[in-house]
Amino acid sequence: MFRKPVEIAQAYPAIGEGKVAAPAIALLFRAMLAGACVAFATMCSHSIAVLISDPGASKLIGALLFPTGLGMILLCGGELFTGNCLLTLSVWSKKISLMQLLKNLTLVYLGNLLGSLLIAWLAIASRPGDAAFFQATVYAASAKTLLSFEVAMLRGILCNILVCAAVWMSYSTDSATGKLLAMYLPVVLFILCGMEHCVANMYTFSAALLARGGVPLYGVLRNLAASTLGNILGGSVFFAGAIWMSFPVNKQTV
């Protein structure tokens, strides 16, 4: 079954209503699951950097494999902060309140962070003496801390336009294969273009700090704040706004 964009737009507010109705503890664990899935995908990118010395080839292969993280979230039922930025559509259509949106995003963000921290700890603890892996992780984290607030925020906006597009496209079909294919290319694009995803950054920074790589805490907090703000704007305003203006919810459009 294939759903047209207007059909997804008309159905999504009710989907958002279901998301905020989930019990808090269930939502937290679903968010931890999503954070862990993104962490595994990010860890894979760092591992590839160890295996392939050419930075271009390493980035390309990492980008081709990274969508596995979102694929696992979609099929395992995880809750991802960046994807849930689409819940503004449910607010605008009066299916949920602004307070429900903020509560959901806060809880999901916390769960994503806990899931990322857990995998970061397991990754570092399971590879004692793996200097090359530690170096690749610290290098990735250090590069992110050098970004100015404005640049990290703008890259965060671009990132979540693509991530939300990937999530949106996955709603066009009910088949597992269709969902994976639909979300694949937008995620590849955001990795290849070097954009900033706050949940992926949670793992990168956590792993780098656990590896005692000397990553500056101020730079970590600045990047997370900027990428989070950018992701919110990219998903909740730019992408959701474009959908809202293009396909008025609960109205017939051609």
**Angle of helix 24-51 versus helix 198-210 axis, rounded to 10:** 70
Q: What is the pLDDT at residue 161?
A: 98
Number of neighbouring beta carbons within 10 Å of residue 59: 17
Tell me the C-alpha distance between 194 and 233, whole Å. Answer: 18
Domain residue ranges in the chain: 5-246
Separation in Å, CA 34 to CA 16, 25, 142, 224? 17, 14, 24, 17
Tell me the C-alpha distance between 181 and 158, whole Å. Answer: 21
Tell me the sheet residues that pair with 2: 173
Enumerate the H helices of 126-193 as residue ranges.
131-145, 149-170, 176-192
Q: What is the pLDDT at residue 213?
A: 82
Give 26's contacts (C-beta < 8 A, 6+ positions apart): none
Q: What is the pLDDT at residue 249?
A: 63
Q: Are 145 and 216 in contact (CB under 8 A)?
A: yes
Tokens of 105: 């995003």
pLDDT tens, position by position, for the chain (254 residues)?
788 999 999 999 999 999 999 999 999 999 999 999 999 999 999 999 999 989 899 999 999 999 999 999 999 999 999 999 999 999 999 999 999 999 999 999 999 999 999 999 999 999 998 999 999 999 999 999 999 999 999 999 999 999 999 999 999 999 999 999 999 999 999 999 999 999 999 999 999 999 988 899 999 999 999 999 999 999 999 999 999 999 866 544 43
Q: Are 226 and 149 in contact (CB under 8 A)?
A: yes
Radius of gyration over every alpha carbon of the chain, rounded to an integer in angstroms: 18
Tell me the C-alpha distance between 170 and 177, whole Å. Answer: 10
CATH number 1.20.1080.10 is the correct assignment for the domain at 5-246: yes
Number of neighbouring beta carbons within 10 Å of residue 203: 33
Q: What is the pLDDT at residue 252?
A: 42
Supply the DSSP symbol for 214: -
